[in-house]
Amino acid sequence: MKLVLFGAPGVGKGTQAKLLSEELKIPAISTGELLRAKIERASKASSAEDSDIELIKSYVDAGKLVPDMLIGEVLKSRVDMSDCKNGYILDGFPRSLSQAKLLEQLNIVVDKVVEILVSEQTIVERLECRRVCENCGETYNTEFKMPQKSGICDCCGGRLIRRSDDSPDTILQRLKVYRTQTKPLVAYYSDQKKYFSVSGDDGGGADQVKRNILKVIGESI
């Protein structure tokens, strides 16, 4: 199974990718996390990991899409790893028509594509309150998913921070990118009969959203 999860920033793709990964026993691959890890590694190393890091960071901080050539390399080296041989969940890739075509050039045929839908107003509220562990990436929310100890990750004890691209201006920019560059994927994958959508905000919580995704993709639990 090669499953694509997409949706605007803050709809809960990362949370769902992790839950589905446990359920379906295939890895979840977040291109955003891969990029943040790459930037973090470079900031800790005395010399830059590669010359593209500054460029990648400038796109991420501005809430814009990292150029296809750079993100394509990051994705390719991850899906070539041995844990991906039985399939994987792509969280945040493709994010444009050109990236959907890039997948095809890489001979990656996705089986199903699920969009998680949440209103823009809810997204803005969620992202303003989002905190992430700088160590393991676990996500929290100052309103409805607080850690047991303030500012500390329950999973690994890492420090909770606000993502640099969760600032109000960058949130609006990322929503615009989603509307203009990512939304055309709906028609693209609908034509291929691979597109499904679920509400990410129906009041049932993350587990209910997960069950709804499994239902639309035809996986029973």
Give yes or no for residue 66 binding ligand AMP (CB under 6 A).
Answer: yes
In three-state secondary structure terms, 100 is helix
Give yes or no for residue 196 binding ligand AMP (CB under 6 A).
Answer: no
C-beta closer to ligand AMP: residue 23 or 61: 61
- The two tokens of residue 73 are 């390399």
Give yes or no for residue 35 binding ligand AMP (CB under 6 A).
Answer: yes
Give yes or no for residue 137 binding ligand AMP (CB under 6 A).
Answer: no
Contacts of 218 (CB under 8 A, 6+ apart): none
Q: ∠ CA(131), CA(33), CA(179), 5° rounding?
A: 85
Q: What are phi and psi of 30, to 5 degrees?
A: -105, 115
Give yes or no for residue 15 binding ligand AMP (CB under 6 A).
Answer: no
* Cα–Cα distance for residue pair 79/92, rounded to 1 Å: 14
Give yes or no for residue 78 binding ligand AMP (CB under 6 A).
Answer: no
Told to judge if 211 belongs to the known catalytic residues of this protein, a careful annotator would answer no
For residue 28, the surrounding DSSP H or E stretch is strand 28-30
- From the candidates 57, 131, 174, 210, give the one annotated as an active-site residue: 174
C-beta closer to ligand AMP: residue 33 or 219: 33
User: Is residue 115 a contact partner of residue 7, using CB atoms and an 8 Å limit?
Assistant: yes
Query: Could you tell me whether strands 130-133 and 139-141 are parallel, antiparallel, or unpaired per DSSP bridges?
Result: antiparallel
Stretch of 17-25, 91-99, 104-112, 154-162 lying at the interface with ligand AMP (CB under 6 A)? 91-99
- From the candidates 13, 36, 57, 126, give the one annotated as an active-site residue: 13
Told to judge if 162 belongs to the known catalytic residues of this protein, a careful annotator would answer no
* Cα–Cα distance for residue pair 159/151, rounded to 1 Å: 6
C-beta closer to ligand AMP: residue 5 or 26: 5
Q: Which residues bind ligand AMP (CB under 6 A)?
A: 9, 30-32, 35, 59-60, 63-66, 71, 92-93, 95, 99, 165, 174
Positions marked catalytic: 13, 95, 130, 163, 174
